[in-house]
Amino acid sequence: MTQDLSAYWMPFTANRQFKKAPRLLTRSEGMYYWDDRGRQILDGVAGLWCVNAGHARPKIVQAIQAQAAELDYAPPFQMAHPKAFELADRIAKLAPAGLDHVFFTNSGSESVETALKIALAYHRVRGEGSRTRLIGRERGYHGVNFGGISVGGIVGNRKMFGTLLGGVDHIRHTHDPARNAFSVGQPAHGAELADDLERLVALHDASTIAAVIVEPVAGSTGVLLPPQGYLQRLREICDRHGILLIFDEVITGFGRTGQPFASQTFGVTPDLVTLAKGVTNGTVPMGAVLVKDTIHDTFMNGPEHLIEFAHGYTYSAHPLACAAGLATLDTYAEEGLLTRAGELGGYFAEGLHSLKGEPHVIDIRNVGFVGGIELAARPGEPGKRAFEAFLDCYEQGVLIRTTGDVIALSPPLIVERAQIDRIVESIRTALRRLA
């Protein structure tokens, strides 16, 4: 690298540290990146939870190239192109029954904003405009726009940005290491934590609450799984009080938990689902919201020439993103990738839990091809121990991700047993070298 690195203000990055010792990726294929030193880097995190089918897949690359030459852009307001309808139909067919409508966005953050607005507008259209309150969850991550950080519950993402949206409250998180440490799969204890929603209903009254939004598996906060029965209980409480339930599946969608969506893995159907990342295998930015039929149909009233829902983006259903999405779904289907985490997830779990007893490890959590290894924080230096493990693994040629003092793993769904072994052993080596 000879060019000046100062112009680019990098997102969610320790910029000063990075620019002293840059980690620059220059090429990718299959399970691997290559950096600017020519080193091969095994991808243990699917880019950023998004490259589910692996890198530079030929069908996806060719679809994007062909689409750019044929139709580079089509306006999404009062116009459309055929692939938008085709992709929406394909996604709806993968979704839980009853979620048959798709509203396209360009990212997970935009999907969350869209779902929250749909929820608020839905209640207003059906004559319950008093339902304006939104309920998130402590430690939840729902992107970085104002709605998302308002319903989100990660302190570092909220503290610099003022009072955020009004009328937002939070239920308790589900992390309970005293009872659930080193659980394999869903922890046994904690279904009753869903009852915290009843506390907020009593405080605010159900007639003021529009929706509850949670991640089925809370990813960016450190891989927190729902206790057995928790999501079912949350669904029951929402139904009892007429509150919409939104699942944020930006991370868990498209095979990450062993089914197309985590709602299918856990057997709970929400009213709205946010998705992004894996829909295009990370190649072209795209997100979407899956919408229950009854919600969609409520908007389809009034004069036909009027816009039913005043919301959308310049790049909603962008032709290149739709082409990438269709080729991605083809790749998933041809290679059985949307269920592969269910087939190989046991081996992945065994590898992760073999790290129990290694230095600094205080908990391990997993489902499908999602794993979290929590480390004891170094006194006075939160997050530094895990970050040092990240740097160590990178020098070993393995890319992991850290959030706070948790090592988070989400390998592409094409990962093989030997590659799982290498990821685990690189972490083991790093842990043994950490102070």
pLDDT for the residue numbered 1:
53
Residue 416, CA distances (Å) to 52, 232, 412 in order: 13, 33, 10
Three-state SS at 48: helix
Q: Taking a C-beta distance cutoff of 8 angstroms, is the pair 408, 45 a contact? A: yes
Region 275-300: what's the mean pLDDT? 98
Q: Taking a C-beta distance cutoff of 8 angstroms, is the pair 342, 258 a contact? A: yes
Question: Would you say residue 278 has pLDDT above 70?
Answer: yes
pLDDT for the residue numbered 392:
98
Question: Would you say residue 24 has pLDDT above 60?
Answer: yes
Task: Give the tens place of pLDDT for each residue, 92-138.
Answer: 999 999 999 999 999 999 999 999 999 999 999 999 999 999 999 99
Region 61-89: what's the mean pLDDT? 98
Q: Taking a C-beta distance cutoff of 8 angstroms, is the pair 255, 52 a contact? A: yes
* In this structure, CATH architecture of domain 15-56+337-433: Alpha-Beta Complex (3.90)
Region 8-23: what's the mean pLDDT? 95
Query: What are the residues whose beta carbons fall under 8 Å from the beta carbon of 192, sequence distance 6 or more?
Result: 233
Three-state SS at 393: helix
Question: Would you say residue 2 has pLDDT above 80?
Answer: no
pLDDT for the residue numbered 3:
77
Domain definitions of the chain by residue range: 15-56+337-433, 62-335
Confidence (pTM):
0.97
Q: What is the DSSP letter of 232?
A: H
pLDDT for the residue numbered 68:
98
Question: In angstroms, rounded to a whole number, what is the distance separating the alpha carbons of residues 149 and 170?
Answer: 12
Question: In angstroms, rounded to a whole number, what is the distance separating the alpha carbons of residues 182 and 261?
Answer: 24
Task: Give the tens place of pLDDT for each residue, 304-314.
Answer: 999 999 999 99
Residue 401, CA distances (Å) to 35, 246, 330, 388 in order: 17, 26, 28, 11
Q: What is the DSSP letter of 55?
A: B
Instruction: Count CB neighbours of 229 within 10 A.
Output: 17
* In this structure, CATH architecture of domain 62-335: 3-Layer(aba) Sandwich (3.40)
Tokens at 60, concatenated:
């996806």
Question: In angstroms, rounded to a whole number, what is the distance separating the alpha carbons of residues 32 and 245?
Answer: 37
Q: Taking a C-beta distance cutoff of 8 angstroms, is the pair 76, 314 a contact? A: yes
Residue whose structure tokens are 């004559």: 127
Question: In angstroms, rounded to a whole number, what is the distance separating the alpha carbons of residues 204 and 169?
Answer: 10
Residue 433, CA distances (Å) to 136, 389, 420 in order: 39, 9, 20
